[in-house]
Amino acid sequence: MSARALYALLLALLITALLGGAAANAAELADDGNAEWRLEQPSPPSPPSGVEGANAPVGLGKIGDIQFWSPNRGVLITAGNGSTVPAGVWAYDGEGWHELANVCGASDGRIAWAGPNEFWTVSDGRPGQASESRGFAPPLEDNTLCRFALNPGTGNLEVVDSYASLAFQSTSYQAMHAASCLSASDCWFAGDSLPEPQIGSFQLHWNGRTLTAEPYLPEGHAVEDLRTFEGGLFESLRLSASDRFIKRSLEVPAMHALDGEGTTSFEPVTGLPLYGPGEFPYALDFLHLSSDADAMWAAAGTVIEPPEKSAEAGVTVLRYSKVQYSKESHEYLEEGSPSWVQVLGPQSEPSGLEAFSEDQIVNAVAGEPGTHSAWLALESQEEASRGPNPLARATVAHISAEGSISDRLQLPLAGEQDGPKGAAEKIVCPAVHDCWMASTRGWLFHLSTAEERAHPQRDGDPAFDGENLITARPADEGVPREASDAVPVDNSGLSEGAASEGPVVAQVVNPFARVAVPLLSHMRSRLIHKTELELSFQLAVTARVRLLAERKHKVVASTPTHTFAAGRRKLLLRLNAKRWPTKLDLQTHALAPLPTKSTQEANTNSVSTSLAFPNARAILQGGPLGAETRF
């Protein structure tokens, strides 16, 4: 090779390294059809009359889910961004995304297609129910359902059914994290474990006519994902040492399966090739699922704080298919029935810990149809523990069924507009070389070829073209309607079209304002057995709570995220004497509006707290938790 040719080659490699955005040692996908990831953000919806709108694309807010019926027909559900984009549902028609409904949005919603013109959403509830006897408002986050379908009379897509439940009952709907349909008359929804003293996982089943509770009773694991494959249904579980059992088995299942032949009974999936020697089940996060016509993929990363004495868990990827790669013959072979194979994990070469950094978590997996490969959405533990980081870049990687990893990318690629858009959170692939990724800030990236971008195949169905914005959601079935106590207005003497006004009611002006009570109060802490921190507190409403311990800006211990009802609660955090924390961070998220008090009442704004830690230096020869400790 001449000196000039060598120089040109080195220069090309340098430019690729600087502008390509690929991670070190990341090979390119050989059969990618020259597909590239591009930012394809839709314009925000038109603002109300008289309100100035955004001049450029903005983040859609947290996108809970993206699902496709076909490559040119997809929907996503968002929490909105609080101002420009309302919570609701957006649709894709092959050319672009547009707002489909400004109702049935969710904090972290889910979507399940039941047919080409029918889908369900896991949505937030609506205020209006009576508060609990102590004044606590009902939880609203991700605990209701909407069914979108065609109106036979108009041909328009509408919300035809809405389902909710009365709060504070043993039968109340729990927050749902998973949804999937085997057919229009066989849909499942699942989520949190049942409230105490019940034991089991919350599940709902739609049989085409009614929605009924079908909880999984032997174990109290939270269900985090649901996917169909070859006529059956698989659900993945978030495992925690605090989960409750009717009878604990020798193997803690990470997954359940339903055979789909008219049964409503899930069975544990045992013998999954998940764990390495000394690795506890609770050291691995729940399995994210994805399926296409050829295979089911399942992927998970490590938890933030693995159980004590457990071996470290790295990124683990499984594949369930009749067609598996043979390392002996170096080819894909078809078997008589599908089987689970560990593509990446503790037994692979390289292992999951070697292929990715030890603090890597998996946010999503998407099997790419027709390629024996999948895309992973990845994030570091530190970024995930601190919530959405506007400066984070989305990390994706491509993995084949052979176990090879390629196309490790950080998006947007160097040179794309406006810089970072947040970490990769959701990913889905409706076709070969056709994938969508949503970031934590609600930005959309599309993997496609130049030919597909130049000649998009538009859906053309008027039900999904966005011309008829869905703005109505029917009354919730399952919640009794209360008759109004108001005397009806007598408008019998008014002519047709005349404005009717209700009776004028004298307004009593209250000179005292009302303010929300604090979510947390009366905090107490103590060390148990020298290294276990007990933190007790009073919750004003149902909330998700997690306690983090940090040392030099690095998380060294963490409790699982708990959903606690209002009342006196406590968290237990096991500390490591060799990594003694210098700061505590109690993360909370209220799941219901806070009750209010009048400023006329004494000590309305006072919060009684105590955070007195024993002098751990004398006990552990380490520093006590100092002034940096915060809540």
Q: Could you tell me if residue 170 is inside a domain?
A: yes
pLDDT: which is higher, 3 or 262: 262
How does pLDDT run across 611-630, given as a tens digit for each residue?
334 433 333 333 333 323 33
Q: Could you tell me if residue 507 is inside a domain?
A: no
Compute the distance between CA of residue 268 and CA of residue 254 in angstroms, rounded to an integer. 8
Same-domain pairing of 451 and 572:
no
Same-domain pairing of 242 and 319:
yes
Same-domain pairing of 221 and 363:
yes
pLDDT (average), residues 32-48: 86
Same-domain pairing of 456 and 546:
no
Q: Could you tell me if residue 68 is inside a domain?
A: yes
SS3 labels along 505-570: CCCCCCCCCEEECCCEEEEEEEEECCCEEEEEEEECCCEEEEEEEEECCEEEEECCCEEECCEEEE
pLDDT: which is higher, 491 or 265: 265
Compute the distance between CA of residue 471 and CA of residue 468 in angstroms, rounded to an integer. 9
Q: Of the candidates 154, 300, 282, 140, which has an alpha carbon nearest to the alpha carbon of residue 221? A: 282
pLDDT at residue 431, as a whole number = 95
pLDDT exceeds 80 at position 497: no
How does pLDDT run across 101-160, given as a tens digit for each residue?
999 999 999 999 999 999 999 999 998 877 777 778 889 999 999 999 999 888 899 999
Q: Could you tell me if residue 594 is inside a domain?
A: yes
Q: CATH no. for residue 41?
A: 2.130.10.10
Same-domain pairing of 347 and 435:
yes
Domain boundary among 464, 488, 505: 464
Least confident of 175-179, 191-195, 444-448, 498-502: 498-502
pLDDT at residue 521, as a whole number = 85
Amino acid at 71: P
Same-domain pairing of 458 and 526:
no
* Ranges assigned E (strand) in 164-221: 176-183, 186-193, 201-206, 211-213
Domain boundary among 448, 464, 480: 464
pLDDT at residue 261, as a whole number = 66
Same-domain pairing of 454 and 518:
no
pLDDT at residue 418, as a whole number = 67
Same-domain pairing of 184 and 251:
yes
Least confident of 16-20, 221-225, 344-348, 366-370: 16-20
Domain boundary among 449, 464, 479: 464
Q: CATH no. for residue 523?
A: 2.60.40
Same-domain pairing of 304 and 242:
yes
Same-domain pairing of 562 and 425:
no
pLDDT exceeds 90 at position 13: no
Compute the distance between CA of residue 18 and CA of residue 28 in angstroms, rounded to an integer. 16
Q: Could you tell me if residue 10 is inside a domain?
A: no
Tokens 């306690």, residue located: 547
Q: Decide if 168 contacts 132 (C-beta within 8 A).
A: yes
Q: Could you tell me if residue 292 is inside a domain?
A: yes
Same-domain pairing of 271 and 347:
yes
CA 572 to mean position of chain CA atoms:
25
Compute the distance between CA of residue 590 and CA of residue 619 in angstroms, rounded to an integer. 36
* Residue 615, token pair as written in the block: 């002098």
Q: Could you tell me if residue 489 is inside a domain?
A: no
How does pLDDT run across 552-587, given as a tens digit for each residue?
667 888 888 888 888 899 998 888 877 888 888 888
pLDDT: which is higher, 127 or 90: 90
Q: Give the CB-side neighbour count of residue 77, counting CA atoms within 13 A.
A: 26
Q: Could you tell me if residue 370 is inside a domain?
A: yes
Q: Decide if 75 contacts 92 (C-beta within 8 A).
A: yes
Task: Give the range of the structural domain holding residue 68, as residue numbers without chain letter.
Answer: 33-46+57-128+140-464
Q: How many domains are there within the chain?
A: 2
Share of the chain above pLDDT 70, in %: 81
Question: At 32, is the pLDDT very low, low, confident or very high (cuts 50, 70, 90)?
Answer: low
pLDDT at residue 391, as a whole number = 79
Same-domain pairing of 527 and 439:
no
pLDDT at residue 619, as a whole number = 30
Q: CB-based contacts of 297: which residues, under 8 Å, 6+ apart? A: 289, 290, 291, 317, 318, 319, 320, 365, 366, 367, 374
